[in-house]
Structure 1
């Protein structure tokens, strides 16, 4: 039994590493996302994140890296970023009054502005509330970035820019999403601070 668990453990880490190596060979889509984020911040815009479950945690994590700091060795000011899943009063009111599908699109309508960047994080590409936010972003002139998994699902055509992790296992996709997020924010910070 222990040998089987050790083999399973090694297989999980190998798969995660294989996916990250595959993504490492696809720099251009990541650099396009960094371009969009830089343009938003330099023009007074903000970065907005949304997702469900573990992806909501990733959304909070990445927004915090911008508002507080990513790397302690890089002195910089706080940058504007929010996550749409953080305010429980707004989330529960939106679900109660408009339904779960508008849980993110309703606050985005009030908080977002043209030129902002929305990160829609969904491992399946099928989360109705993330799809709603991506549609609202398009209507408002907000650049939409998808951190997606699998084949991208219905979210893929709603994204101006998409970073796709071609795997069906949620945990492996999430591991890649946070690695992609950290890479994007590191490159963004390098540009903005001139490191």
Structure 2
């Protein structure tokens, strides 16, 4: 054997030893990094899924509470007044046109004869509305069913004018005492009751 042959063999052996472990170590490091990234990703996904579940549970609970409150209110109204439906007009009309609007829908302007009903209606309307009370005959205030007014929920100083014969409910005022008399020709929204 020549010295050159030995040198070449030694050189090749060194290369095998050096390149072999480096390649293996590099691959092993990549595997560890991939596993570590995979674990982090799995933990992150699990946390996100848990948060989504909690938010969904809160949403369902709030919906259930709202539905339960509405059912209780509806049952109380049925008990006190029978089957009652309220609807509001989208357009502003005179008192007479408002009454006709309600009648065209099988209803009439709302009659408010208890404080509880007054508070309830005041709680959900956002605009001034005609109610079913007027003194069109210039004698006494009467409801649309011709029953006389027994209890009123007047704003302070109302009713105040002989030219104002129709009654509105103004939710921007006191939640109980918020009735105001207006000329029947004024145009505001209305609330119907069936």
Query: What's the TM-score, normalizing by structure 2?
Result: 0.26
Bigger radius of gyration among the two: 2
Higher helix share: 1
What TM-score results when the alignment is normalised by the length of structure 1? Answer: 0.26
